[in-house]
Structure 1
Amino acid sequence: MAATAEVETRTDSSRERSAPQVELAVLGKRVPNRKAICDVPALAAEIEEVAGDLKDPTFRRGAILDLLKAALADATGEIRRRLEATNDGAACVRGRAWLMDQIIGVIATHAAEREFPATNPTTSERIAVTAVGGYGRGELAPQSDIDLLFLLPYKQTARCEQIVEYMLYLLWDLGLKVGHSTRSVAECIRQAHADITIRTAMLESRFLWGDDALYEEMREKFMADIASGSPLEFVEQKLQESDNRHRRMGDSRYVVEPNIKDGKGGLRDLHTLFWISKYVYRIEDVAELVPRGVLDLAEARRFAQAQKRLWTIRCHLHYLTGRPEERLTFDVQPVIAERLGYTDRAGAIAVERFMKHYYLTAKDVGDLTRIFCAAIEAEYKRRRRRFRLPKMFGEQRFGDFRVEGDRITLIDDDAFQRDPVNLIRLFHDSHFRDLMIHPHALRVITQNQTLINADLRRDPEANRLFLEILSSPKGPERILRRMSEARVLGKFVPDFGRVVAQMQFDMYHTYTVDEHTLVCLGVLHAIEQGELKEVAPIATDVVHKILSRRALYVALFLHDIAKGRGGNHSILGERVARRVCPRLGMTEEETDTVAWLIRWHLLMSDTAFKRDVHDPKTVEDFARIVQSPERLRLLLVMTVADIRGVGPHVWNGWKAQLLRDLYYATDEMLTGGTSPTKTGARVAAAKRKVAEQLAGWTEAEVEAHLALGYDPYWLGFDTETLVRHAWLVRRAQASDARLVVEHRLDPDREVTEVTVYAADHPGLFSRIAGAMSSVGANIVDARIVTLADGMAIDTFMIQDDKRQMFDRSDRLARLASAIERTLDGSLRLEEQLEKKGTLTTRRTRAMKVPPRVLIDQKASVTHTVIEVNAHDEPGVLHRMTRALARVGVQIHSATVSTYGERFVDVFYVKDVFGLKIDSARKLDEIRGALLDSLGVKPAEKTK
């Protein structure tokens, strides 16, 4: 049994000499100035001295533990200091692996020679300590587990069990997270046959200490019995494993809070490529793939750079959080960006620049994956689905392309040099012929990127082919994503290239700008195909009435093209469209339509979610900009696609209802229907519909009820709601109740409607809002009505903290109780809200949203409209409405919209006399009170 003062990783020197010199963090690479990390001989000598002096096992163990703790603390600090000084994550994980090698070696030597010595150990008492998993690769992140395999020749013996137990307890007492297994050689081989995870771990195994002949026996049997079979089975399983993992993680490398280990384009994908290389090519170093022709030198360097960058981010993440955190959440992104030296630049803050480089790294990983798959296919000519080899004899050719099975590739590697338009034509033919693109063709594209220049961008044929792709009836999302990943799309449309991998540092957007654009195009195609009929019925209906279909697809492709340029991206995007559309071959009319859509692509959502869609002035102002039914249809479909393309949980039934109401009201006005300005006729019609449904009421009772509501009340609700209110008022009056709280679940809009009937008084809305917040309800819309008899009917649409219906019976009971106790004064609302405020997450606090109060006197004829933008947190609506009540403002209606960490609340208000607020002094007082409620300091209000 070999006892070494310092554990060395063995390498094949001849293989190292033959491999190209590529800066790769690979197994066996030496750690510089190791003595500064840990003086291993000195540590071993100290332990030996303690072992000789202390005869009591308990005292001896305690003293040794103290020595190891001190050495470990010093070494860990040195490794961290090196990372912070150099930002070299590769050196960090190598250094930690080397350190653990030494700690384990010293402990094992002491256990075998001092604690459980054997003068003449038997063959069955042989033991080898082996590193497996990531640790076996020689990589160990700061918070990663140390995975060990204790290898035995046969079954466990008493002495081996004592050694293993001593080592594990000492490692655990050092605070290390150790995963372990104890197996014989035969058990290792048997379990590797049955379990792909164990097989992978053994593939990466590395000898640490003990009987190296035993370890070599296991390796030889593994290679002979396991790896000598079909390596393609292993490849298939590992790639399928990757696919499954990607689906669990959202199947996109462009999410705004990526998992740097298991996400698409993360470290695990690089590990998978290494496993495949090691299994198929029997290599220990990625650089060895270059002479084999699997990678060229530039690709090997990209592998190394991607790996080093991901390691660096992961190490910083582990140190920053103090746990094995793998997600780059919003709260840590700015900190890591700063540690990596990023600074703000024009049009992009430091964290967005950092994340853009992360996404480009993830894209490199995707490119390398395709290259690996192509190389493996070329070597083994597999006839399996994943690699899609020919299904029939013969070869189909067209132009400079040919078909292998169901994949398009090149006749020869000079196809793009002969005709650069082939760089676009390849994707066009792939899409319309339903062919996958061969990885080799993608590799040749990468080698000919310089051909995508100004001449190609001006070429009429190239632009015609691209426009056909973009407006394809088959849906362009998939093929455009392939063009983007091949770096063709960003070069052919340089304005799109500027937003590739560009993140938006907020909690509203789920994807980067380019990924959001492609997702939106997929949503638009799904609308056309009727796949979203249940959730977006109006858009599904009107999309087939649109006459400017091509313009719609181009507008959606370009709608966020100007983000990150330091100005209003809608206005800047309009300018881009007027430049790009003629180049693509679009007519003047189409160009004008595209430009208009981009300029106003946020108009419909802003109007529906921030204004009272039942206010005639809202519809008039909106219709004045839209002007035509065709533009209204285009804007509706584009708005639905844009919102659903933000993320899976942004769209809901409530937003659909608001857009639907605005669409119908505007369409009625634009097509010559009933004008929204004819209020009297509309009120009379609404009252008549309600009266018709009040069965069992006398004429006098109907008239008395209809007299309670003012005109806006009858126009602000649909007939069904108005009838429910009538019955609620009747029941309350019959029982002389001064407070009634009712709720109704609305699955279509994914909200719970809560109606509160109570005596009106200043601050009523504020207190109800506070009560709702105290039990975890989020108000997504509210409408306040005061009846002629002084009673109020306040209607709230609420959701839970996951933006779903607030529908649990116990929570609804607590909600009703909280409202009742708040209004009678028995609930200490401020105390409850203060507790809720502590629940704000670190991720949310990381987002900076400067508070802003806008007062609009033009949006409504009868009301002053106040818009507040600020950071969302529990109780904020209560604080704002309480501030309004204190300065004598009556709230007529409130619309609440939440965009991740930011909210936009819009209040339609009047003064205490029921009039629109005209006084400049009063408006300043209102603005100041709201800013106070948002925690803005006096000095900041004047900035």
Structure 2
Amino acid sequence: MCAKAYESSGGPDAGAAIVAVGGYGRGELAPYSDLDVVLVSDEGVDVGEVAGEVWYPLWDSGSRLDHSVRTMTEMVAAADADLKVALGLLDVRHLAGDPALTLRLRTTMLAHWRRGSRDRLPALRDLVRTRHELAGELAHLSVPDVKEAEGGLRDATVLKALVATWLVDVPHVELERSRGALLDVRDALQEAAGRGTDRIAPELWTDVAHRLELADARAAQVHVRELGRRIAHLSHLTWRRVDAVLAEPARIRGPRRPRMERIAPGVALSADEIVLDARARPADDPLLLLRAAAEAAERDVVLAPATAARLARDSAPLPTPWPAEARRLLVRLLASGRGLRSVWETLEETGALPAILPEWQRIRLLPHASAIHRFTVDRHVVETCVEASALIRHVTRPDVLMVAALLHDIGKGGLTEHSVAGEPIAREIAERMGFDPAAVDLVARLVRWHLLLAETATTRDPDDPATVELVVSRLESVEALDLLLALTEADARATAPKAWSSWRAGLVRDLARRVGVALHTGSTLPPIATEDVVVPPVVRAGGLSIVVDPAVDGSRVRVVAPDRVGLLADLAAMFALARIPVRAARAWAQEQYAVSVWEVGEPGLDAAVLRQRYDGVVDGRPDAARRLRPAGGAGLEPAVVVRPEASDQATVLEVRADDRPGAVYLVCAALARLDVAVRSAHVDTVGPQAVDVFYLQEASAGVLSDVRATEAAHAVRAALSEPAGS
């Protein structure tokens, strides 16, 4: 039609052409799309009279026309002035006139886009973010917009523009398959609506399903939301790669060879992506997928999709029950905060998630029955984990909190009330994960009663003793109450901003306070550690004894030495400086000697090498205080609490902080500087959090005064918080 109109107008054969741009240029017209065309000419070629002769026949045909007339120079200037114009001109297609001019135009626009891409991509990213904020996510909207929403056709077009920069790539087959399927959805939608629209109203789902030859409206919703999620995943991944490229200086010449840094067994970091290192053996290491995912999430970097897909295909299955290290890795992944979102998305899109949680399919892409929810059930669960990760300082069992957050809605989708249906499923999963019976009961109890505090606080009289008795009968312990309070807040925050208003939060916390008073039965902290050991002759002579025994996934190190203030700090530095992870430790005094047993995550340790490292720490080689200072950042603040009710023999200090090399050293060194003796210690790592209990006395023996206890707590908190260089 355009060619015939141009020919009839008497347009020149050289120096002028009609080109299609945007969706028309890509050949993606929907039934009610506009025709975006430009009459372009070389400088000095007059096409003023031709334009009118061309447009009138097109208008008379009933076509919806979006047209313009520009010279080549004006085309470049328009692209420079408007990002949307620049994107549209990347898809120039010849319609009529001089094909050589069209070819020059296309080549010029692509070259211009590539040359200026580093400067223009930040603005493009802002444009995309603004659109996402306004339009929402295709996978979660009740009335999804297949073009403008995140994961829609507009994002697919932007991805093609990012590939055109030559800075990054995207899986072409997957993108084109998803884009083509979403174009089919738009065609079916507009045919069903009888007008040009990109929004699928609820009453149109059945007709759209019929036109797409899908079973029913529910199947059509799943199909569309899955396409949106897949394109959104490709978009997130590609933009992360764009950020990594833009953070580097432009390369003048030569191939790009990213450096690989081994960061965990079988796992490496390369160009801000987690990949497998050359020594990885997926068939021999069932924990490799969890390890790679946890590292990616904690570092907030990309889990390379090819890596996840390979691990899903080639990894040995996790044994049943899971080993303790598998649980630790899962909890690290779940408690990683915002880094969880993209990694979980990659696990889903690559088919790796069933290897970790096959029950996830029950809730995948499942819409919520309540309109207050802003996400589908599966995404809501991920958001609940993200919210719960910020609350782990409030509980002693962050592993139970995070797994309960993951499973709290696992019973949805059936006819039975979801908390009732979810309890036995959660119990089975927790048992498979290898939790001890008490922890399994806690997880199941939290899933069963995860609505209890919110519903009771907003529907019952808090002053009625029966209200408190009801909650007490369901929870039975302070530990369960603390966990449920954290889960309730995380669940509400993940639902919608209004679901955790100050009014609702106040009601829930007031109820929890009343229940806590009724449940409180004294300290739940571990007792002072003690165990009679045979003191080796070398220790009686004033020396130090280190014995290493193999343990599951690591080693057990027993140290006996003459007791002194600062000994525990030096031993902790010995491990931390060698980057040997301490999973648990117990320390106690036996007569004038100090005994400590360390469970560490490094197999095959040599006692002689450890002794050399210890001697170096004592001699100040290297400077442990300088090397092990906190790195700083936006992590959770440590929780340091004096528990006066826990012991009559010592002052008890409870510390909850990030599990990182040097945390135990920082605590013990701070206490040593105050000349405070650690008479007993219980150091434990639960997921990403260290939960440590120290029984303190003055060096001359005796409980610390209130002033000294406060001073000790302040010093420990400062040591764990103050970043290096401050």
Match of 1:499 in 2: 363
Does structure 1 residue 568 correspond to structure 2 residue 455?
no
Asked whether the 8 Å contact 1:420–1:451 carries over to 2, the reply is no
1:200 is matched with 87
**Using the alignment, how far apart are the partners of 1:378 and 1:470 within structure 2?**
22
Q: What secondary structure sits across from 1:128 in the alignment? A: strand
**Other structure's SS at 1:359 match:** helix
Kindly provide the CA deviation profile for residues 52-82 of structure 1, in whole angstroms up to 9, marking residues without a partner as x: xxxxxxxxxxxxxxxxxxxxxxxxxxxxxxx
- Two-structure CA RMSD over aligned residues (Å): 4.1
CA distance 1:368–1:445, shift in 2 (3 Å): same
Distance 2:271 2:3 in 1: 54
Closer, same or farther: CA 667–414 of 1 in aligned 2, 3 Å: closer
Structure 2 equivalent of residue 129 of structure 1: 18
Distance in 1 (CA, whole Å) between partners of 2:279 and 2:72 is: 49
Q: Name the residue aligned to 1:868.
A: none
Letter in 2 for 1:326: D
CA distance in 2, matches of 1:108, 1:610: 73
Higher Cα Rg, which structure: 1
Give the Cα–Cα distance (whole angstroms) in 2 for the partners of residues 524 and 550 of structure 1: 11
Q: Which amino acid aligns with 1:444?
A: T
Residues 628-639 of structure 1 mapped to structure 2, 5 A cutoff: 628-639=477-488
Q: Is the Cα–Cα contact under 8 Å of residues 629 and 671 in structure 1 kept in the other structure?
A: yes
Change (3 A) 1:321 1:653: farther
1:152 corresponding residue in structure 2? 41
Which residue of structure 1 lines up, in the alignment, with residue 178 of structure 2? Answer: 306
Paired residues of 2:430 and 2:440 also in contact (CA < 8 A): yes
Unaligned runs of 5+ in 1: 1-101, 282-288, 344-349, 529-542, 673-943
Cα distance, 1:148 vs structure 2: 1.3
5 Å matches for 1:158-557?
A: 160-165=47-52, 167-168=54-55, 171-172=58-59, 176-222=63-109, 226=112, 229=115, 241-250=127-136, 253-278=139-164, 280=166, 300-343=172-215, 350-366=216-232, 368-369=234-235, 383=249, 395-396=261-262, 398-404=264-270, 406-412=272-278, 415-432=281-298, 434=299, 436-437=301-302, 439=304, 442-451=305-314, 454-455=317-318, 458-460=321-323, 463-470=326-333, 472=335, 477-478=340-341, 479-504=343-368, 506-527=370-391, 544=394, 546-557=395-406
Q: 1:648 to 1:329 in 2, by over 3 A?
A: farther
Q: Which amino acid aligns with 1:469?
A: R
- Are the aligned partners of 2:282 and 2:315 in contact in 1 as well (CA < 8 Å)? no
User: Pairwise mapping of residues 851-862 of structure 1 onto structure 2 (< 5 A)?
Assistant: none
Whole-angstrom CA distance in 1 between matches of 2:470 and 2:384: 27
* Partners of 1:463 and 1:583 within 8 A in 2: no
User: For 2:87, what is the secondary structure of its paired residue?
Assistant: helix
CA contact (8 A) 1:481 1:518 kept: no
Give the 3 Å change call, closer, same or farther, for CA 229–128 of structure 1 in structure 2. same
Give the whole-Å Cα distance in 1 for the aligned partners of 2:245 and 2:464: 69
SS at match of 1:280: coil
- Residues 401 and 487 in structure 2, CA contact (< 8 A), matched pair in contact too: yes
Please say which of residues 258-267 and 173-182 is displaced more in the overlay: 173-182
The offset of 1:316, in angstroms, is 2.3
Change (3 A) 1:320 1:430: same
For each residue in 1:435-455, what CA deviation from the matched residue of structure 2 results, as whole angstroms up to 9, or x when unmatched? 62463xx31321342345644
Structure 2 residues without counterparts, runs of 5 or longer:
522-726
Q: Are 1:608 and 2:494 counterparts?
A: no
Contact 2:294/2:333 (8 A) holds in 1: no
Distance change >3 Å, CA 140–CA 626, structure 1 → 2: same
Instruction: Confirm or deny: 8 A CA contact 2:86 2:113 kept in the other structure.
Output: no
Is contact 2:17-2:94 (8 Å) kept? yes
8 Å contact kept, 1:490–1:500 = no
CA distance in 1, matches of 2:355, 2:129: 28
8 Å CA contact retained: 2:303, 2:346: no
- Give the counterpart letter for 2:422 in structure 1: G
Question: Which of residues 423, 448, 466 is equivalent to 1:599?
Answer: 448
Q: Deviations over 1:123-157 (max 9, x none)?
A: 8xx64221101111111122333211111233684
Give the CA deviation at 1:324: 4.0
Shift, 1:310, TM fit:
0.6
Distance 1:502 1:187, change over 3 A: same
Q: 1:490 to 1:353 in 2, by over 3 A?
A: farther
Secondary structure, counterpart of 1:136 in structure 2: helix
The 1:435–1:568 alpha-carbon spacing in structure 2 relative to 1, beyond 3 Å, is: closer
The TM-score, its normalising length taken from structure 1, stands at 0.48
Match of 2:533 in 1: none
| 1:850 alignment counterpart | none
**Deviation per residue, 1:21-52 (Å, 9 max, x gap):** xxxxxxxxxxxxxxxxxxxxxxxxxxxxxxxx
Which residue identity is paired with 1:551? V
1-structure distance, mates of 2:243, 2:514: 59
Contact 1:425/1:465 (8 A) holds in 2: no
Aligned residues: 517
Corresponding residue of 2:719: none
Tell me, in whole angstroms, the C-alpha distance in 2 between the residues paired with 1:599 and 1:435.
32
- Please state whether the residue corresponding to 1:645 is helix, strand or coil: helix
TM-score by length of 2: 0.61
1:97 corresponds to: none
Whole-Å separation in 2 of the counterparts to 1:422 and 1:181 = 57
- The SS at the match of 1:189 is helix
